[in-house]
Amino acid sequence: MNKQKNRLIDHIKYSVMIAALLVITFAPTGQVKAEFGDVVINNYSDKAGMPPVVFPHWFHRIRFRCKVCHGDLGFEFKAGGNDINMVKIIDGQYCGACHNGEIAWSIENCNICHSAPVGTPTQVHESTLQKLIKPDQNKTEDKK
Amino acid sequence: MRRAVNSVLLITLITGLSFSYISIAEQQPVRKWKPIKDDGIHDPASSAIGVLQNPAEALSVLPPDTAGNQVNWVKALRDGHIKPRTHLNKQGKLERLDTDIIMEDTLEMPNVLFPHRAHTEWMDCASCHDHIFKSKAGATPVSMFDILQGKYCGRCHGAVSFPLTECDRCHSVGKKRKASK
């Protein structure tokens, strides 16, 4: 009896889940923003008067395996989760492991990284998660 | 009660499918990527516009797909369209594992096939073991709700790897019908 009730609950849960997923998949594409996998990093930029940073995964994964950044360089799998700042970058950590004038152009090109409009919150663009559970949180989100 | 729930499910599916039909009919033929200047996350006034590469330029030459970046990344890598480095400074080797894991706790959905191969071509064991998945089949309490909230497979899928709306790419193997437990 209990088992049946559980399955009933499962049914309800999945009706809702599938409905939500279908809505986000096929919502009018006019709202589509950014490229899938683009990450905005804005823990400090706004407060420091710099435009937030945009990190494009599509661009970097053509050149490096995930393992290089997420293994060797220690980037956690979490937008905004690495507490990156310029001191660390100049010291050769995170973006600075490559953006040092050797593997890639160096940090004097501020605006190429700091290219988002001021006020854009930390997030992964186009993520299923973002669309599904945080549609209204885009403005105030503070990932911690 | 049960019938009511079933019909809700059915109606949802039908509405959803008809929507998907319309949008598939609309989007299938051409792949399109937003140019950097109006993609909504770059400041159109930034001096980076014109310097940053537009996705279409790099992605349109890679094997096509219908979701995410609209690139079949697995194929792009295997067929040598791209040669992403395995190390910061050099091209080396990654430890590859070819075993597939079948996950059967999927209710009405087909079983999930997790291919180690496609993953270990991109990353090393430590990307997943043991902080996301235990090294023992069946030992990790994976569920779809957690995945949708960005855990387990959802750590990458939906954010960087193909999105979670592609149910059948994970739920890809038929299950022999079992008596409900």
pLDDT band at B150 (very low <50, low <70, confident <90, very high): very high
Whether B46 is in a domain gets the answer no
Q: How many domains does chain B have?
A: 1
Tell me the average pLDDT of chain B: 86
Whether B47 is in a domain gets the answer no
ipTM above 0.85, yes or no: no
pLDDT tens sequence across B96-126: 999 999 999 999 999 999 999 999 999 999 9
Whether B177 is in a domain gets the answer yes
Q: CA–CA separation, A25 vs B163, rounded Å?
A: 9
Residue pairs spanning A and B at CB distance below 8 A: 180
- DSSP string for A112-138: HHS-SPTTPPSEETT-HHHHHH-TTGG
pLDDT band at B65 (very low <50, low <70, confident <90, very high): very high
Tell me how close the Cα of A136 comes to any Cα of chain B, in angstroms.
Answer: 16
Whether B43 is in a domain gets the answer no
- Partner B, chain A 21-40, Cβ-Cβ below 8 Å: 21-26, 29, 32-38, 40
DSSP state of A51: P
Q: What residues in B contact A69, CB-CB < 8 Å?
A: none
Q: What is the CB neighbour count within 10 angstroms for residue B137?
A: 12
The reply to whether residue B19 touches residue A115, judged by beta carbons under 8 angstroms, is no
Whether B126 is in a domain gets the answer yes
Q: What's the pLDDT score for residue B110? A: 96
Looking at chain B, which residue has its C-alpha nearest residue A71? Answer: B127
- Partner B, chain A 46-105, Cβ-Cβ below 8 Å: 51, 54, 56-59, 61-68, 70-73, 77, 79, 97-98, 103
- Whichever domain contains B133, its CATH number is 3.90.10.10
Q: What is the 3-state secondary structure (H, E, C) of chain B?
A: CHHHHHHHHHHHHHHHHHHHHHHHHHHCCCCCCCCHHHCCCCCCCCCCCCCCCCHHHHHCCCCECCCCCCECHHHHHHCCCCCCECCCCCCCCCCCCCCEEEECCCCCCCEEEEEHHHHHCCCCHHHCECCCECCCCCCCCCCHHHHHCCCHHHHCECCCECCCCCHHHHCCECCCCCCCC
Output the CATH code of domain A39-143.
3.90.10.10
Over residues A97-107, mean pLDDT: 96
Whether B128 is in a domain gets the answer yes
Looking at chain B, which residue has its C-alpha nearest residue A28? Answer: B23
Q: What's the pLDDT score for residue B47? A: 95
The shortest CB-CB distance from B42 to any of A10, A29, A54 is to A54
Tell me how close the Cα of A49 comes to any Cα of chain B, in angstroms.
Answer: 14
> Given CB atoms, is A2 within the 8 Å cutoff of chain B?
no
The reply to whether residue A33 touches residue B39, judged by beta carbons under 8 angstroms, is yes
Whether B119 is in a domain gets the answer yes
Whether B34 is in a domain gets the answer no
* Chain Cα centroid distance, residue B160: 8
Q: Domain extents for chain A?
A: 1-30, 39-143
The reply to whether residue A8 touches residue B154, judged by beta carbons under 8 angstroms, is no
The shortest CB-CB distance from B165 to any of A21, A65, A125 is to A21
**What pTM, to 2 d.p., does this model score?**
0.90
Over residues B140-165, mean pLDDT: 95
* Structural domain of B168: 62-181
